Structure 1
Amino acid sequence: MLNEKEFNEYGRQGFTHIPLWQTLTLPDAVEPLALYQALTNQGQDYLFETGVRRQHGVEPALSVIGLPCRERFELGEGYLHHYRDMHLCETWETDDPLEVLKILQERWSVPEISALPEFAGGLFGYFGFETTRLIEPRLRRIARKPSGFALPDALLWLSLELVVIDHQRGLLHCIVYGETGVEGDYVRSRTRLEQIVERVQDSLTPSDADKGALSAPIAAREINQFFPEECFRQAVERIKEYIEAGDVMQVVLSRRMSHPYAEDATTLYRNLSRQGTAPYRYLLNMGESQIVGASPEMLFQKRGARVVSRPMAGTRRRGCTAEENDALHEDLLADPKEIAEHMMLVDLARNDLGRVAAAGSVQVDELLTVEQFPNVMHIVSTVTGQAATGTQALDLLKSTFPAGTLSGASKIRALEVIAELEPHARGVYGGSIGYLDFYGNADQAIVIRTGILTDGKLYVQAGAGVVQDSRPEREWQETKEKSQSMLQAAAINPQQPEEAVLCI
C-alpha cells in the first residue's frame, strides 16, 4: 500500500485519483459469486468475469467485483446526466453525449502502477442498442419505439472500490481510490481499504452457496412472446425483398420473450455459470433491475494501441453425442450460406476497425474457426489492428457499434430495417457491456445470451442473420437455440408453448 507521502507526491504531479491496494494470495476454491454476495449485492454494483480461450476451452481470467458506486452517468438522446449518491448533480443537453463523456474522462488522471491487474478501476456499465441513435444522426429521424424497460440508453458507473481476482496469477487485489484534492482522503481511503480487506478475508472460506440443485423446469405459465412466429416469418420475407432490391445485404432480426421469475439475479447467474465458463459473464445490479448474461462474443478490446474484434456468425446446435457434434461442425463449415454471411461480417469488422486504426495495420489473425458453447457452436474470426495516434476507447466504440453480427450490412440501412420491423426498441440487448479504464484501455462484450430481470419477470432476446437464401423457419429455430441457455438457467422449459402478446 502507498504511504501518505507517496500519495501526496502523486498529487503534486497532477494526478487526481490514486489507487491504494492490498494484494492477497488467492486461496483454493474461492467462488467469485459467493464473494460478491458476501461483499455487496446491494445495488449500483456489479460482477464482471472474463475468460481466456485455450485449446481445451475457456479458462477464467479475471473476476471483478465492483462495490457500490457513488457516481454514475446516464446517456440518452439529447442528454447526459451525472448522479452522485443517487442524486442528479450535473446535466448536459447535447446532440453528442458520447463526446461529452469523452471530455469528462479527462477529469480523472491516475498513475499507472504495474502491480495492479488488467482492470483496476474506471467506467463500467453498458451501452444499449439504441446508443446507435447517439452515434448516427440519420437514425434519429426514425420514430422511436418504446423498449419496455425503464433504463437509459447507456449507463456507466465510476468504479473506485473493487475487488479483482486474477485467476491466471492466483492473486486477489482489493483496491480503493483516494482523491488528491480532498483533504484527509488518504486516511479515509486507507481505512476503507482495511475494511474491505477484512471483509474479504472473513469471506474467503469454501462456500456451499453454489452447490444447490437446479430447480425443476417451470411449466405453470406460458412464455410471453413479443414477436410471434408468423409475424417473425413475415419480417424475414420482407428483409429478403429488401435484399433482392439491392437495398441491404443482411439484417439481424431478433425477438424477445418473457416469463415470470421469482428467484434473484445471483441464482440465475449461478445456474448460467454451471453451463460452463464463457469469455464474458456479468451481473449488473441497478437496484430495481438486473442484467445477467454469459456472452461468447467480444465487440472490441483495446490494450494500449492494439485493438481486437472477434466477429461471430454462423450457428449450429450442439450434438447429443460426440459423433453428432462432429457432423454438425463439418456441416456448419460446409454451408455456403453460413460462410458467405460470416465473411461479409468479417469484412464489416475490418472496415469498422479501419476507421480508427493506423493505415495498413488491420489484418485477420484467425479465420473461420469453430468455437463450442453449451447449446450451440459458432464460426469465429479474429480481426486486429493498431489504433491511430490519438484514438480513444470511445472513438473505437463509435466506429464498431453496434456489432455487425447484431445489425447486418450495410450497417446503417440494416439498423433502419430493424427499427421498422421489430416491435420494440431493443434496449440493452445487442449493445455492449464492459469497461473503459483510466488509461484508455477497454474490453466490451456484446450483449447476447443475456436476461433482464425487472418487475418479477425475466426478459430474453435472441436474433438470427437474414440473407438472400434464408429460410424463415430456420431463422426462427436459430433464435430458439440461442435463447435456450438462458431459459435453462432460469429453469424455464424452452419447449413450452409460446403465447403471442404482440404482432407487428
Structure 2
Amino acid sequence: MGSAPPDRSYKMQIMRPANALQHLYSYDSFTFNLAALCKRAIPECRVHIIKNDALPSHVLLPFLKYFDAVVVGPGPGSPETPTDVGVVKDIWHVEESLLTPVFGVCLGLQSLAVEHGARIQRLNVVKHGQVSEVLHDGADLFHGVGEVHAVRYHSLHVELPAGTDHLEPLAWADDGEENGRVLMALKHAYKPFWSVQYHPESVCTTSGGTSVLRNFWRLATDWSPAHGRTTLPWTPAVEAAVGPCWPSVRAEATTKFDPQHTSTSVATRTLRLPTLDATQICELLGVEDESGDFVLLDSAAAPGRFTIIGCLTGTSARITYFVGDSFVRLRQGRDVALVELGSLDIWAWLTSYMRRKRAHGGTPDVPFWGGLVGYLSYELGVHTLTPTPPRSGSPHPDVNLVFVERSIVIDSHTKTVYVQSILSGDEDWVEDMTARLQSLASSPNPSVQRTTPAQVSSPGLDPVVSLPDRSEYISKIVAAKEWLSSGDSYELCVTAPTRVRARKAPSAVARGTSSSWELYKTLRSRNPAPHSAYIRLHPSTLLSSSPERFLSYSRAPDSLCQLRPIKGTVRKAPGITRAVAEELLAGSKKEVAENLMIVDLIRHDLHSVVGDDVHVRQFCSVEEYETVWQLVSVIEGRPAPSVKDKTHSDLGWEVLRASLPPGSMTGAPKKRSVEILRDLEGGERGIYSGVLGYADVGGGGDWAVIIRSCFKHEERPPTRDALRSHQQETARSLGPSNDVPNGDGAASKTSQALAPDSLFDEWTLGAGGAITALSDPEAEWDEMITKVESVLRAFKDIGSK
C-alpha cells in the first residue's frame, strides 16, 4: 500500500510513509516491543505511536484515512472502564468511510469483544508472565503458523455469548481445571478487525509473533483494495497532529552541540600496585573527615571490575535538584547559583551540561575519565513517568551529583591503578598523587596507617531498629494481589522503610573521624557487592552494597546500552550448589515469571529511545555472586542511525529518563504500578530504589539500583579539627582522669558529655519484594526481612568498633 505518488502541493516533495501504521498506546509497558515486532513483520513500515487520550475521537478518527492499519496495544485495567481504553472504544464503531484494518492485542482484543456484546470475566487463576500453548486451526491469522507457545499477561478474559454471529473465535488456551478453555484470538465477521489475547511481542512467545503479524498485514492489504479503501497521501499537518514516527528523539534532548567547544584532554598515569586496596586510598584522600564531600563507586566483589574514587577539590561543582523546581542548584566552593531550566527538563539540562564537559584521550579500557558521580532518586523517575506535585519538606535532593575532575580508578582484574585529571595543566597533581600512592603501597603494612585507640564498648546501646509493621505489610501484599486480579498490574514491587538509630562507632568518635565510613567498611566486609558505594554529598550520605547493575552505556561511536535486571535470589549456604540454585531459581515458575515481566518491560523502555535494535542476550541465567546466587537477564540495545544523528550520541540521559524508576522496583505496567504503589506504600521512597553511578565525560555511563543500601540526612557536620577541639575542652572541664575510656568497658565521661545527637545517626533502609499472583504474603514478609538483615548486620557490628 505504499505506492501513492508524492503530494506536490507543498514546496518540498512529501512522500507518504510506506506501510504507515497507527499504534494506539494505552499506557502499558510493552507497546514499543509491539512496535519493534511490527517493524520486523512488515518491511519498511513506519509506526506512529499515539496515546489513547492524546486526541479526542473527533480529531483522531479522521486521520485514519492516512494510515494503512491500526494496532491497538495492550494496557492495564478493563475495557469497560472508559479512562483505561480512551479512544480505542470508538475505533470499532467508525463510519464506513473511515473503516481501517485493526489488529488488537490483549486489552485490544477485550475492547473489540466488549464493544460487540461479549462479557468480561476474571480468570480463576491469573496468567501473568505465563507461557501457554495456543490451540488454533491454522487458518486466518494462523495460516501457515505451526505450534504456538505464547506469553500471557491477563487476569481478565472474554466470554462470547451464545449465538454471537459477528465475532468469530480463532484460537484458545486450555487451562484445564484452573480456567477451562480461554479465548486467545478472534476476528470480526465482516469488518477488518483481528485480535489476540496473548502477547505476540514477548521475548518468550514462539511462532505466534512475527508470523501472525505478517498474516494480519496480508489480510489487511487484501481487504483494503477489495473494499475500495485507499490511503491518503501523508502531509506535514497530519504529522504535526499525530507526532513523528518511532523512533524519535524529544526536541528537548536535541540541544545544539557547539562545534566550537574544545574537548579537554585527559592526563593519565598508569600504575601496577597489586597490594593497594580502595579503602586505603580513600583514607589517604581524607574520607574520614565527615565534613567533606566524598564519592566512591566500589566494585567490592565479582562480577564488578572498576572502582572509581573521586579526588574532590574545594571547587568541585555540585549539582542538586528537587522534583518540581524550575531551577538547578549549582555550587562551586562557597558560590551557589540557581540556574533556571527554562524550556528544558532536568534530563535535557544534564545532557547539555555534559556536552560542555567533553574530554578525549583517556585510556580507552577505563570506563570513567571524569564526570558526574552521585545518585538519582526514585521520586525523580516517578515524576518523569507520572507527574506529581512538587515535593515538600524532603531533606534529600532528587538529583545529587558532583563533577569529578580528578580521579583514581582501580582495575581489579589487572591490579592496575589509573591516576587521572581532566583539569588543564594538572600534570603536577597527577605526578604528586602517583608518588603518594606508590609510597602508600610500599609501606611495611599499608593497611595500618594509624594507632587504634582503646576500644570503647557500649552496653545497652545497640541500634534501635524500627521495622515495618508486619500485619500492615502483609495487608499491603494482599491488597496488591487484588490489583493484580483486577487487571491493573501484572507485578507490584511492594516495599517499606526500616529506620535505624545507631550509635556511631566509638573508635570514630574518639578520633573525631567519620563514623559513616566505619559503617561502610563494615558493610563492605559483611556484604561485598559489585556495586558497592560510599557517597557523601551533604546533606545526604548513601552506603550501598547493591548487587544489581541497572544501566550501562558505552562511549560513541559504537554505543551499546545494557541493562541487567535481577529477579530471584538464593543466599549461599552449605548444600546450596549451583545445581540446587538453578533448580530453585531457573526452575521456579514464579521466579521466571517475575524475571520475564521485567525483561519485557525493560525491552519496551529501551526500544522507546534507541529503536528496534534491542535484544535479550541472556535470559534467566543463574549467576554466582559473593554471598548469593542470582537470576539475571541481560538486555542490550544500539541506537538507530536517525537517533544517533539527532542526539550526537548523547543517549545516556534519555535512556535513563525512559527507564526510571527501575522496572525491577516497580512492576508492570510501570505507570499504573507506580500509581498503585504510591497509594499502597503511603509515602515516598526517596533515595531508595533510585540509581547511583556516573556519567563519563567521554560519553559513557554506569548506574546501579539502590538496594541493600542505607542513607541518612545530616547537615554538614563540624570539621574534624573543630570536633577534636570540642572534645579537648570537654575533657579539660571534666578533669584529666576522665579523658580515657575505662578498663571495665564503661563509656568515658568525655563521650557521655558530648551532645546525644553527636553520638547517634538516623539511617533509613528500604526493602521489599515483587508481588505476583503466585506470591505467599507470609513468605514475602520473610523475604523482605532477610533483605533488611543483610544491611542491619553491619549496624550490629559497628557499635563494638
TM-score calculated relative to the size of structure 2: 0.54
1:443 corresponds, among 667, 677, 702, to 702
Are 2:548 and 1:301 equivalent residues in the alignment?
no
CA contact (8 A) 1:239 1:251 kept: yes
Q: Quote the offset at 1:432 in angstroms.
A: 0.6
Are 2:305 and 1:61 equivalent residues in the alignment?
yes
Report the 3-state secondary structure (helix = DSSP H, G, I; strand = E; otherwise coil) of the residue aligned with 1:201.
helix
Are 2:374 and 1:125 equivalent residues in the alignment?
yes
Aligned residue identity for 1:49? D
**Structure-1 residue corresponding to 2:272:** 25
Aligned residue identity for 2:360? P
Give 1 or 2: higher strand fraction: 1
CA contact (8 A) 1:434 1:444 kept: yes
Distance in structure 2 (CA, Å) of the matches to 1:371 and 1:218: 41
Q: Quote the offset at 1:144 in angstroms.
A: 5.1
Matches within 5 A, 1:379-418: 379-388=631-640, 389=644, 390=647, 391=649, 392-418=651-677
CA contact (8 A) 2:523 2:545 kept: yes
Distance in structure 1 (CA, Å) of the matches to 2:490 and 2:304: 37
**Structure-2 residue corresponding to 1:424:** 683
**Structure-2 residue corresponding to 1:367:** 619
CA contact (8 A) 2:406 2:420 kept: yes
The one-character-per-residue Cα deviations of 1:166-217 (angstroms, maximum 9, x if unpaired) are 22233222222224xxxxxx2xx233333323332332234334999x9999
2:339 corresponds, among 81, 91, 110, to 91
CA contact (8 A) 2:369 2:422 kept: no
Are 2:556 and 1:315 equivalent residues in the alignment?
no
Report the 3-state secondary structure (helix = DSSP H, G, I; strand = E; otherwise coil) of the residue aligned with 1:368.
strand
CA contact (8 A) 1:253 1:463 kept: yes
**Structure-1 residue corresponding to 2:792:** 487
Matches within 5 A, 1:150-229: 150-179=395-424, 186=425, 189-204=426-441, 205=443, 206-209=445-448, 220-221=461-462, 223-225=464-466, 227-229=468-470
1:349 corresponds, among 597, 602, 605, to 602
Distance in structure 2 (CA, Å) of the matches to 1:164 and 1:330: 38
**Structure-2 residue corresponding to 1:265:** 516
Are 2:541 and 1:290 equivalent residues in the alignment?
yes
Judged with a 3 Å threshold, the aligned counterparts in structure 2 of structure 1 residues 196 and 15 are, in CA distance, closer, same or farther, namely same
Structure 1: gaps of 5 or more residues = 1-11, 52-56, 180-185, 494-504
Report the 3-state secondary structure (helix = DSSP H, G, I; strand = E; otherwise coil) of the residue aligned with 2:409.
strand
Are 2:772 and 1:467 equivalent residues in the alignment?
yes
Report the 3-state secondary structure (helix = DSSP H, G, I; strand = E; otherwise coil) of the residue aligned with 1:322.
coil
**Structure-1 residue corresponding to 2:328:** 80
Distance in structure 2 (CA, Å) of the matches to 1:210 and 1:328: 42
Q: Quote the offset at 1:413 in angstroms.
A: 1.0
Structure showing greater radius of gyration is 2
Distance in structure 2 (CA, Å) of the matches to 1:201 and 1:315: 40
Number of aligned residue pairs: give it: 461
Report the 3-state secondary structure (helix = DSSP H, G, I; strand = E; otherwise coil) of the residue aligned with 2:428.
helix
Aligned residue identity for 1:112? G
Distance in structure 2 (CA, Å) of the matches to 1:356 and 1:67: 34
Q: Identity of aligned pairs, percent?
A: 23
Judged with a 3 Å threshold, the aligned counterparts in structure 2 of structure 1 residues 248 and 139 are, in CA distance, closer, same or farther, namely farther
Q: Quote the offset at 1:373 in angstroms.
A: 4.2
Distance in structure 1 (CA, Å) of the matches to 2:338 and 2:318: 11
CA contact (8 A) 1:316 1:329 kept: no
CA contact (8 A) 2:549 2:704 kept: yes
Q: Quote the offset at 1:249 in angstroms.
A: 1.3
Aligned residue identity for 1:15? T
Judged with a 3 Å threshold, the aligned counterparts in structure 2 of structure 1 residues 459 and 207 are, in CA distance, closer, same or farther, namely farther
Cα-Cα RMSD: 2.9
TM-score calculated relative to the size of structure 1: 0.84
Judged with a 3 Å threshold, the aligned counterparts in structure 2 of structure 1 residues 109 and 329 are, in CA distance, closer, same or farther, namely closer
Aligned residue identity for 1:381? S
Report the 3-state secondary structure (helix = DSSP H, G, I; strand = E; otherwise coil) of the residue aligned with 1:427.
coil
The one-character-per-residue Cα deviations of 1:127-155 (angstroms, maximum 9, x if unpaired) are 1111124422x3315x85865xx210011
Judged with a 3 Å threshold, the aligned counterparts in structure 2 of structure 1 residues 93 and 110 are, in CA distance, closer, same or farther, namely closer
Q: Quote the offset at 1:116 in angstroms.
A: 7.0
CA contact (8 A) 2:268 2:362 kept: no
The one-character-per-residue Cα deviations of 1:256-275 (angstroms, maximum 9, x if unpaired) are 11222213222222222224
Greater RCO (Cα-Cα under 8 Å, separation 6 or more) = 1
